[in-house]
Structure 1
Amino acid sequence: MNDDGKSLRQSAAKGSAVTLLAQGLRIVLQLVSVVVLARLILPDQFGLYAMVLAVASVASIFLDFGFSMAALRSKFLTNQQQSNLFWINVGAGAILSILVFFLANPISNYFNESRLVGITQGISVIYLIGGITAQFRVKLNREMRFKALASIDVISPLIGLITAILLALTGFEVMSLVFQQIATELTMLLISFFLARWIPVFPRKTEGMKELLTFGAGFAATRVLSYLTQNVDSIAIGRVWGAAPLGLYDRAYRVSVGPITQISFPMTRIAIPVLNKVVDSPPRFISALKEAQLIGTFITSTLLLILAGVSEPVVVLLFGPPWVDAAPILSMLCIGATFRTVQQVSNWVFMVKGLAGDLLKFNLVAQPLIVFCTVAGVWWGPVGVAVGSSIGYGFYWLLSIWWAGRVTNMNLFPLFTYPLKVIIIFSLPAGIVAFVVASVVDANSPINLLSGVAAATCWLLIIYMLSKSIRTDIKKLINFTMIALGRHQK
Structure 2
Amino acid sequence: MAQAVKALIQIASVVILARVLSPEDFGVYGMVIATIGVGFIIKDVGLGSAAIQATELSAGARSNLWWINTGLGAVVMAVVLAAAPLLAGFLNEPQAAGIIMGLAPTFLLNGMTAQYSASLVRDLRYGAQLAVDVPASLAGLVVCVVAALNGLGPVSLVLQALVVALWSLIASAWLCRWVPTWWQRDSGVRNYLRFGLSVFGNSIIFYVANNISTSLIGRSFGATETGYLTRANQLVNTPVGTISAPFASLALSVLSKVKSDTNRLISYALVGQQMIAYVVVFVGGIFIVAAGPIVGIALGSDWSQTAVYVRLIAVGSVLGFLPASHGWLFNSQGRPDAIMKFNLVVAIVRTILIIVAVQFSILAVLTVNAALTAIVWPLTFWWLRRSTGIPVGKLLWGSARAGLAGLVCITLTFIIAELIGVPTNQFASMLMLIAVFGVLCGATLVIPPIRRDAQAGVRFILQRKQRDQG
Q: List gaps (5 residues or longer) in structure 1.
A: 1-20
1:264/1:375 CA distance change after superposition, 3 Å: farther
Alignment match of 1:450 (pick from 431, 443, 448): 431
Further displaced range: 173-182 or 97-106 = 97-106
Runs ≥4 in structure 1, deviation > 6 angstroms? none
TM-score, scaled relative to structure 2: 0.95
> Could you tell me how far 1:196 is from its partner in structure 2?
0.4
> Could you tell me how far 1:55 is from its partner in structure 2?
0.7
Aligned to 2:15: 35
Further displaced range: 220-229 or 259-268 = 259-268
> Could you tell me how far 1:405 is from its partner in structure 2?
1.0
2:301 paired with 1:325: no
- Is the contact between residue 271 and residue 453 of structure 2 (CA under 8 Å) also seen in structure 1? no
**1:56-93, Cα deviation, whole Å (9 max, x unpaired):** 11111110111111111110111111111111111111
Structure 2 letter corresponding to 1:147: G
> Could you tell me how far 1:488 is from its partner in structure 2?
13
- Is the contact between residue 52 and residue 122 of structure 2 (CA under 8 Å) also seen in structure 1? yes
SS at match of 2:396: helix
Partners in 1 of 2:443 and 2:253 — Cα distance?
Answer: 38
Aligned to 2:129: 149
Identity %, equivalent residues: 28
Structure 2 letter corresponding to 1:451: M
> Could you tell me how far 1:431 is from its partner in structure 2?
2.2
> Could you tell me how far 1:438 is from its partner in structure 2?
5.0
Partners in 1 of 2:442 and 2:207 — Cα distance?
Answer: 39
Structure 2 letter corresponding to 1:396: V
SS at match of 1:171: coil
SS at match of 2:387: helix
Aligned to 1:461: 442
Aligned to 2:422: 441
Q: List gaps (5 residues or longer) in structure 2.
A: none
Alignment match of 1:68 (pick from 36, 40, 48): 48
Further displaced range: 40-49 or 98-107 = 98-107
Aligned to 1:15: none
Aligned 1:360-399 pairs, distance under 5 A: 360-399=340-379
Aligned to 1:258: 238
Structure 1 letter corresponding to 2:444: I
- Is the contact between residue 11 and residue 238 of structure 2 (CA under 8 Å) also seen in structure 1? no
Partners in 2 of 1:191 and 1:308 — Cα distance?
Answer: 37
> Could you tell me how far 1:377 is from its partner in structure 2?
2.7
1:133/1:423 CA distance change after superposition, 3 Å: same
**1:173-224, Cα deviation, whole Å (9 max, x unpaired):** 1111000000001000010111000011100323542111111111111111
Structure 2 letter corresponding to 1:432: T
Aligned 1:346-425 pairs, distance under 5 A: 346-424=326-404
Aligned to 2:180: 200
Aligned to 2:148: 168
TM-score, scaled relative to structure 1: 0.91
Alignment match of 1:56 (pick from 32, 36, 41): 36
Structure 2 letter corresponding to 1:289: A
Alignment match of 2:198 (pick from 170, 193, 218): 218
Further displaced range: 116-125 or 471-480 = 471-480
1:259/1:462 CA distance change after superposition, 3 Å: closer
Alignment match of 1:83 (pick from 42, 50, 63): 63
Partners in 2 of 1:110 and 1:282 — Cα distance?
Answer: 49
Structure 1 letter corresponding to 2:438: T
Partners in 2 of 1:162 and 1:29 — Cα distance?
Answer: 11
Partners in 2 of 1:94 and 1:241 — Cα distance?
Answer: 34
- Is the contact between residue 371 and residue 392 of structure 1 (CA under 8 Å) also seen in structure 2? no
Aligned residues: 467
2:408 paired with 1:429: yes
Aligned to 1:12: none
SS at match of 2:322: helix
